[in-house]
Amino acid sequence: MDSTFSPRSEQRSTIRGGLATLSSLSSGPTHAGTHNIDCGPARCQASVEHDADSVSDMSSIYLSVFLSGSPENQKVGIAYFNVDTDMLHVGDFLDVGRLLESLKFRLSPIMIITHARVGDPVFELLQQGPEGQRELLYNVVSVKRSEFNYDSALNRLKLITVSELESKPLGDEPSKTGEPDELAQRLRLMSVINLENRDTICAVGGLLSYLQKNRITNQLSDYTHPVTIAAIRTMDMGDVMIVDSGTLRALSIFNNEMHPVGSSSRKEGLSVFGLLDETKTVQGKRLLKSWLLTPIMDIDEVSKRHDAIERLLDQKNEHWLAEAVFILRGVKDITRLMVKLENARAKCSDWFLIIETIQQFISLHELARNADNRFGHFNLVVRAFFYSTYSLVPNQIVEAWDDEIIELNNLITSVIDFSESKISKRLEIRNGISTELDEIKRNYEELGSFLTNVAEEIVSNSSVHFENLEVLHLPQLGHLIAIPVDSNRNLESQKTLESLDFQFIAEDKLFYKNDKTRKLDEEIGDIRGIIFDMEASFIRELADCVLRRKHMLSAVSSIVAELDCILSLAQSAVTYNLCRPFFIEERTIRIRNGFHLLQHQTVDQFIPNDTVVGATDEECSILLLTGPNSSGKSVLLKQVGIIAYLAHCGSFVPAESVRLGPVDRIFCRMDFAETSTSSLSTFAMDCYQVSCMLNHSTPFSLYGVFRSKHSTITISYIAISLLVDEFGKGTCKEDGIALVTSLVHYFSMMPLSNCPRILITTHFHELFTLGLLPKQTASTISFQKMDIVLRTPVNHNNARQTDQVTFLFKMVDGISTNSYGLECAAVAGIPESVIERAREISRSYVENKPIHRVSEDPAIFSELYQSFVGLNLDSNADMISFLEKIKSI
């Protein structure tokens, strides 16, 4: 028989009393929700890593889309709610198509809510996933247009609770007449959101309605209960570099692969994010992914990240870096733990995670506080991180958190005895919290010996001899007399004993009640249940105290996530030998010894390359790259794109040194991943990608000011980078040459001040041999080629052999007018006979001579015909002879 609490000493006499829980009858207490769900020590420890892994890739964003206006002049209102942070983000935009595509990829929402009258084209756009993705990772829900009504949306906004605004419902201040002050309501809303922006408000209204009805934020509340959020923020896509999913895929920023353990799970494959991700926390991993999804144009913000990484890499701070990483390993996702507390779903293991995380917060704070004594100047950086370098929380508030976090830690540890909880597999309240609870616990501990005395009394007062009689206290069942089943007697006769009322049989024991046990039920009651109820009330009260500090804990968690990201980028910079990029005023990209971050990890030796593309008098805005197949042209284009992209994410970049002007858009025309879900051919997709380049690289009335801590970079152009890899090869050669020539000519004739930075690779040598490019384009185009060494092998039999090509993977000045396709085929292992035949065809084509068949001797074909006519199909020898004759031709 299983015992939750054993008696003080084992008694092997024939009369015993004790406390027991029948495994077949009792599933443990059901008091006080689930705070007291059993959690063994193994679960408390193992769940730490399990919880982090299980939620790291789960989406928790609900996106609302509202459209207005005619198709020619359409506006879109956007609102999304992040369940992890309880943050509401709002905004309105004009570029509907590209905005929605970008938002879907960057936010990875779990749900998109829109109205029924949004229109088929937009609804199809919302349902369309990135190219190459077989299944959507989100659902699109269409609700009634009335859910997005402006007046209804305003009313919902007035009822929400915003923790940032004094943590109470908006508009609950009474006026002098005792009625709600409408002006005060409106003013408080206007402090965080523009109420005149109807599209945004309508999007918010539809989102709030969906969250309420589906109880997204208040799962235990009635659906009419107002939504609670932490803060409202305005989206500003103008400060974010524009890239589409095709560009991210071409540059391998992310690479989602199906996990081998199951078809429904995914894992990160070989990607830039996979290499840079050295984060130790769930929230840090999410934030790093967000940084890499949204490269920013705020040079001052980017420089802060670069400054922090640079100082972390100082050898003086090596020990601090290791200590910070060690502490971060113990930080868990406090936001999700707070959600569990709110919904009364916190287990014993969750409280272990909460206190561990709070204690790690304190350790990080102490590490930052003592940094000045250990590293001098580094203290400014460390404290800057913990004191909200990037967050919106004022420094004086963070200073106050120091004492508040320590007080919260002391409160939790003074209430919960974690050592005893680990042993008993449930939350235990410390002695001294309640004298009443302590007294009941003492009585409970002494109940075993007391029930032993009761058992002896029952035996002494009974005329029947009982063997091994026990009096037990069973949770919810009360006090029972237990007697082992006598196998030598009839079972039915054992159920009817003098002065004992049979109750049930379990685990080879017969259970009875009598007047004495019923009296004990009245006097003592379900003492274990009483203890559980009292402890549960203390746990609920403690949970309320923790939840009152939820906003503070979430904000600290966000700051720690930022620190985790910077530490991860610093570790990656050391691991992969990355350098700090510097932003300059010129519209140029100057890379010295740049390398492809992913390719560098897959080869024994990678050859770095210098790249200069600019729009100055000394530099060319177009780099036209030629070279043999497999010489590294595509890799070079991608490494330039990755360097520009990572520079705006705040990461160090794969090169020896990089100086570049701000880049607000990157477009790639790379190989399109064909899938059965796409209705476009490869060439059609190529044309679509180039069309996007041309349409969005045309100069608009755009003026951007990017501020740096060292200088102010002012530009009045669209700083775009275009990467075009072998455009035109998917159609007939003549059309492909015409398209590439027109594309190069179009950009080369643009004014220097408006021309984007372009890198183009091509195998169409007719651009140069036929003089298709005008002479005036020479000043804007830098002609480069991939260098090779060509060697003709020595053959003593004077037989023709294919030249051997050695790729140097180095970009040099010049033009390559030969793709060396046959030589590359030989390197790939194509048989020499096939290559020789290809050489004959190529020579005939170039010299405009007829191309003859391999053999055109009529006698041979006549002989073969006669052999086939006279073939004896029943003779294996004839069949073998005929096949050998065919092979010899």
Domain with residue 91: its CATH number is 3.30.420.110
Select from 212, 239, 266 the last residue of a domain.
239
Interval 469-518: pLDDT, tens: 888 888 888 888 888 887 777 777 778 777 788 888 888 888 989 888 88
What's the CA angle centered on 296, arms 191 and 110, to 5 degrees? 70
Q: Once rounded to an integer, what is the mean pLDDT over residues 49-75?
A: 64
Q: Strand, helix or coil at 269?
A: coil
Interval 211-221: pLDDT, tens: 888 877 654 45
Interval 773-809: pLDDT, tens: 877 677 788 899 999 887 766 665 555 566 678 889 9
Q: What local confidence, expressed as pLDDT, does residue 348 receive?
A: 92
Q: How far apart (Å, rounded) are the C-alpha atoms in residues 770 and 773?
A: 9
Q: What local confidence, expressed as pLDDT, does residue 641 receive?
A: 92
Q: How far apart (Å, rounded) are the C-alpha atoms in residues 639 and 759?
A: 11
Q: How far apart (Å, rounded) are the C-alpha atoms in residues 736 and 743?
A: 11
535: left (phi over 0), alpha (psi -120 to 50) or beta: alpha
Report CA 383 to chain centroid distance, whole Å.
27
Query: Which band of pLDDT confidence, cut at 50, 70 and 90, is reported for residue 729?
Result: low
Q: Among all chains, which residue has been given the structure tokens 């080869």?
A: 603
Q: What is the pTM of this model?
A: 0.73
Answer whether residue 740 shows pLDDT above 90: no
Which neighbouring-strand residues pair with 19? 473
Q: Among all chains, which residue has been given the structure tokens 């004495």?
A: 516
Judgement on whether residues 495 and 594 belong to the same structural domain of the protein: no
Judgement on whether residues 744 and 653 belong to the same structural domain of the protein: yes
Q: What local confidence, expressed as pLDDT, does residue 856 receive?
A: 60
User: Quick check: 807 and 790 in contact, CB under 8 A?
Assistant: no
Q: How far apart (Å, rounded) are the C-alpha atoms in residues 479 and 13?
A: 20
Q: How far apart (Å, rounded) are the C-alpha atoms in residues 448 and 761?
A: 86
User: Quick check: 767 and 741 in contact, CB under 8 A?
Assistant: yes
Give the number of other CB atoms < 10 A from CB of residue 70. 7
User: Does 542 map to a domain?
Assistant: yes
User: Does 660 map to a domain?
Assistant: yes
User: Does 808 map to a domain?
Assistant: no
Judgement on whether residues 596 and 525 belong to the same structural domain of the protein: no
User: Does 103 map to a domain?
Assistant: yes
Continuous segment of H or E residues that includes residue 381: helix 378-386
User: Does 317 map to a domain?
Assistant: yes
Judgement on whether residues 472 and 539 belong to the same structural domain of the protein: yes
Q: What local confidence, expressed as pLDDT, does residue 809 receive?
A: 92
User: Does 210 map to a domain?
Assistant: yes
Which CATH number do you get for residue 703?
3.40.50.300
Q: Are strands 509-513 and 501-506 parallel, antiparallel or unpaired?
A: antiparallel
Judgement on whether residues 631 and 654 belong to the same structural domain of the protein: yes
Q: What local confidence, expressed as pLDDT, does residue 281 receive?
A: 95
Query: Which band of pLDDT confidence, cut at 50, 70 and 90, is reported for residue 682?
Result: low
Judgement on whether residues 511 and 598 belong to the same structural domain of the protein: no
Judgement on whether residues 337 and 256 belong to the same structural domain of the protein: yes
Q: How far apart (Å, rounded) are the C-alpha atoms in residues 279 and 291?
A: 13
Judgement on whether residues 549 and 640 belong to the same structural domain of the protein: no
Which CATH number do you get for residue 421?
1.10.1420.10
What does pLDDT average to over the chain?
A: 76
Q: Which long-range contacts (CB under 8 A, 24 or more apart) does 699-704 make?
A: 699/754, 704/297, 704/662, 704/664
**Higher model confidence: residue 305 or residue 718?**
305
Judgement on whether residues 492 and 619 belong to the same structural domain of the protein: no
Q: What local confidence, expressed as pLDDT, does residue 684 receive?
A: 73
Q: What local confidence, expressed as pLDDT, does residue 43 receive?
A: 34
627: left (phi over 0), alpha (psi -120 to 50) or beta: left
Q: Among all chains, which residue has been given the structure tokens 């041999």?
A: 769
**Higher model confidence: residue 266 or residue 49?**
266
Q: How far apart (Å, rounded) are the C-alpha atoms in residues 64 and 78?
A: 6
What's the CA angle centered on 632, arms 631 and 637, to 5 degrees? 145
Select from 192, 214, 239 the last residue of a domain.
239
User: Does 320 map to a domain?
Assistant: yes
Return the minimum-mean-pLDDT range out of 480-489, 546-555, 578-587.
480-489
Q: Which amino acid, 788?
A: I
Q: Would the CA dihedral through 752, 755, 759, 761 be positive or negative?
A: negative
Q: Which amino acid, 85?
A: T
189 token code pair: 């809303």
Judgement on whether residues 674 and 534 belong to the same structural domain of the protein: no
Domain housing 151 = 57-239
Q: Once rounded to an integer, what is the mean pLDDT over residues 58-82?
A: 79
Q: Which of 96, 97, 105, 111 is nearest to 64 (CA)?
A: 111
* Proportion of the chain above pLDDT 90, given as a percent: 19
Q: How far apart (Å, rounded) are the C-alpha atoms in residues 330 and 840?
A: 69
Judgement on whether residues 469 and 532 belong to the same structural domain of the protein: yes
DSSP string, 579-608: B-EEE-SSSEEEEEEE--TTHHHHSS----
User: Quick check: 726 and 761 in contact, CB under 8 A?
Assistant: yes
Number of domains the chain is built from: 4
Q: Which of 623, 657, 669, 662 is nearest to 644 (CA)?
A: 662
Q: Which of 9, 11, 16 is nearest to 473 (CA)?
A: 16
User: Quick check: 169 and 160 in contact, CB under 8 A?
Assistant: yes
Select from 786, 806, 839 the last residue of a domain.
786
Give the number of other CB atoms < 10 A from CB of residue 585. 14
Give the number of other CB atoms < 10 A from CB of residue 705. 10
Answer whether residue 815 shows pLDDT above 80: yes
Query: Which band of pLDDT confidence, cut at 50, 70 and 90, is reported for residue 391?
Result: very low
**Beta carbons within 8 Å of 262's beta carbon, 6+ residues apart:** none
Answer whether residue 583 shows pLDDT above 90: yes
User: Does 61 map to a domain?
Assistant: yes
Judgement on whether residues 275 and 233 belong to the same structural domain of the protein: no
Answer whether residue 69 shows pLDDT above 90: no
User: Quick check: 478 and 466 in contact, CB under 8 A?
Assistant: no
Taking each helix axis as running N to C, give the angle between helix 282-293 and helix 96-107, from 0 to 180 degrees, rounded to the nearest 10.
160
Q: What local confidence, expressed as pLDDT, does residue 7 receive?
A: 34
